Amino acid sequence: MKTWRKYYKYFLIWRIRHLTNTQILVGSSLIIGVLSGLAAVVLKNLVSYTYELITSWTYGTPDRANLLFLMYPMIGITLTVILLKYVIKDDLSHGVSKVMYAISRKGGFIKGHNCWSSLLTSTITVGFGGSVGLEAPIVYTGSAIGSNISRFLRLDRHLTTILAACGAAGAIAGIFKAPIAGILFVFEVLMIDMSMFAVLPMLISAIAASMISYFFLGQDSAFTFVATSSFELSKIPAFVLLGLFAAVVCLYFFRIETFVAKVFRRLNTFWKIVTGGVLLGTMVYVFPPLFGEGYHALNKLLAGDMHSVFENSFFYNQSSNVYMVLIVILSIIILKAFATNITCASGGVGGVFAPSLFIGGFVGFFVARLVNMTGLVTVAENNFVLVGMSSVMAGVMFAPLTSIFLIAEITGGYDLLAPLLISTTICYLVVKSAHKYSIYAQPLAKHGDLMTHNKDKTALHFLDKSKILETNFYKLNIDARLRDVVKAVERSSRSFFPVVDNENNFKGVLVLDDVRGMLFQPDYYDIIRVKDFMRYSEYFIADINDPMEKIVEKFHGIDRYTIIITDRGKFAGCMSRANVFAAYQQYIHENSDE
C-alpha cells in the first residue's frame, strides 16, 4: 500500500508539472467515453440475459397470459431493495436527478460505488419486469466514472463537473449509439454551460462510447425505421393534433408521478414492496408490453405487427378488431404512467427516459390510427410512432433538441425532421406553460437544490465564506462606557463596533458617528453607556450557516454595505458588499472556459 501511494504521489507531481487542463480533459474524456460505452454494453446484455433466463423455461402461448409475470416484478423489486438496504446502503433512485444534485451541491462529486451499483440494481429491476428504463442508471454510472476519474487526478470542482458531464454524454451515446443526442442531453437536461472548452471532451466521450457500442452490439439501431411516405403539407394538422395530445399525456404523467409518490410515501418498506409488486405484476400480466423497457413492443408498432404486440395477453384474438386495438393501446398509455411510477416508488431502480419513449410511441400510433379511421387523410402510422416518441420525451424531460436528434439518429429518420419539429415543439411549449420544471428538475427545485439552471446561484453556493468573512473587529461589551469607546477608536480604523455580552452573543452595533461629538468631552466618559446608543436591525444580520444566496439578499437595500454575520447568535464577523462581489468575480474568472 505504501509503495502504491508513493507512485501515485509521483504521478500527481508529474501530471501537475507536464499536463495542461486541456490535455487532461482530452485524455480523460477518451477513457471515460470508452468506460461509459462498455458500461452501456454490459447493462444492455445483462438485462437481455436476465430476461431470457427467467422466460426461457416459462410456459405461455401467444393467446394466453403467463402467470409467472404476476410474480416477476415483485421478485425484482424485493431483490433490489435488499441490495440497496443491506449491501449498497444508499438510495439510487432518480439517477439523473442525483447527477444534477451532485453538480449543483457537491461540485460534481459522486460516490465510487455508483460506478457499478446502478448497473446491478437496474438490471434486476428491469430484467424482472420493472416498467422503467435503463438510461437514468447508465447516466448515473457514466457520471460516477467521470467524477471518480477526476477525483483520482485531483482535479478542481469545475473540471470534475465537466468530466461527470462527459460520462453522462458517453452513457446516452453508448446506449443509443447517438453521440449528438448524448451531448444535447447534457446541455438541455444537466444544464452544463455550452462552450468549446466543455464541448470538445464531451464530443470525444460521446463518439468513443458510440464506437464501443457499435463494436460490441453491431450496426443495428435501437429502433428499425423505414420511411413509407414523405412529409406533405396536408398532414400538418395531424402532426399538430399529435403534439397537443402528447402534451395532455405528459401533463397526465406529471400528475400520476405526484399521486403515486404521495401514496407510497405513507407506506413502510415492506408494504411498498408488496403493494408495488402486486399492482405492477397485475398490470404486466394483463398488458405484457408493460414488462420492462418495452422497446420490443415499440419495434413491433414500427413494423405494424399488432399481433406481436398482443402476444401473451387476453386480447391476442382481438388484434384484428380496430376498436379493440384502440382501447388496448389507450389502456397501455394510461397504465404505463402508473407502472413506471409504481416501480420507482416501491423501491425499483430505473428512470423515465424509456417510459417516455414508450408512451410517446403508443400515443403516436393511437393518433395515427384515429386519423386514418376518419378518412380525411391517410398517414403512415410508423412515422407517427417516432414523432410521438420525440414529443412525449420532450414534454416530460424538457429536452426538445435531445428528443428530436435522438429519434433522428437512432432511426436514420431525418426525413421526419419537419414533423418532429412541429409536434415536439407544440408538446414542449404546452407542457412548459403548465409546468416550470422537468420531471428530473422538479424534486430538486422543491428543496432549493436546483442550481444548474441558475448560474449566479451556483457561483454563490461555491464561494468560500471563510475567505470573505472579516473578523478583525474590536468588540465592545454591552456594559461598556464611552471611555471604552475612546480606547476602541484608538485601536481600530473601523467606523462601527460590534456589541456583545460576556458570552460573545451579538447584541447590536455602535456606529462611531452617533457618539463622535462626545468623544472629546471627558465628562461623559463614565456617564454615557454603549447600550444607550447601540443599533440593532434584523435586516443587517445573517447567520454563517445560511446559504450564501440568502446572505446576499441582505445587501438589497441601498444603504446596506456591510452585513453582521453570527454563528448561532454569537458574533462571527462581517461581510461587505465589495468583498462578496470581488469573490464572485474571481469565481467566474477561475471557472471561465474561454
Mean pLDDT value across residues 501-513: 87
Q: Give the model confidence (pLDDT) of 94-121 as tens digits.
A: 888 888 888 877 878 899 999 999 999 9
Bigger pLDDT: 393 or 1? 393
Residue 112, Cα to own-chain centre: how many angstroms? 18
Mean pLDDT value across residues 485-503: 84
pTM of the model: 0.80
Of 262-276, 363-377, 427-441, 452-466, minimum mean pLDDT range: 452-466
Grid cell listed for 77:
423489486
* Chain region(s) in the chain for CATH 3.10.580.10: 458-590
Q: Is residue 396 scored above 70 in pLDDT?
A: yes
Q: Is residue 263 scored above 50 in pLDDT?
A: yes
Pairs from 549-558 (Cβ < 8 Å, separation ≥ 24): 549/457, 549/460, 549/461, 551/575, 552/460, 552/580, 555/580
Instruction: For residues 110 and 304, give the distance between their C-alpha atoms in angstroms, rounded to a whole number.
Output: 43
| pLDDT at site 80 | 93
- Name, of 9-13, 32-36, 416-420, 493-497, the range with top average pLDDT: 32-36
The domain 233-447 is classified under which CATH number: 3.30.1310.10, 1.10.3080.10, 3.40.50.1110, 1.10.150.20?
1.10.3080.10
Please count the other Cβ atoms lying within 10 Å of the Cβ belonging to residue 189.
23
Bigger pLDDT: 4 or 385? 385
Q: Which residues contact 305 (CB under 8 A, 6 or more apart)?
A: none
Q: Are 459 and 584 in contact (CB under 8 A)?
A: yes
Q: Are 169 and 133 in contact (CB under 8 A)?
A: no
Q: Is residue 387 scored above 90 in pLDDT?
A: yes
Mean pLDDT value across residues 473-481: 86
Residue 377, Cα to own-chain centre: how many angstroms? 41
Q: Are 162 and 109 in contact (CB under 8 A)?
A: no
Q: Give the model confidence (pLDDT) of 122-170 as tens digits.
A: 999 999 989 998 989 999 999 999 999 999 988 888 889 889 999 999 9
* Chain region(s) in the chain for CATH 1.10.3080.10: 17-217, 233-447
Mean pLDDT value across residues 19-48: 91
**Which residues share a beta bridge with 567?**
570
| pLDDT at site 64 | 55
Q: Give the model confidence (pLDDT) of 199-241 as tens digits.
A: 889 999 999 999 999 888 877 666 666 555 566 777 889 999 9
Amino acid at 540: F
Average confidence score pLDDT of the chain: 85
Calculate what percentage of the chain has a pLDDT beyond 70: 90
- Residues 17-217, CATH architecture: Orthogonal Bundle (1.10)
Bigger pLDDT: 579 or 122? 122
Mean pLDDT value across residues 477-484: 86
Q: Are strands 562-567 and 541-543 parallel, antiparallel or unpaired?
A: parallel
Q: Are strands 506-511 and 496-500 parallel, antiparallel or unpaired?
A: antiparallel
**CATH class of the domain at 458-590:** alpha beta
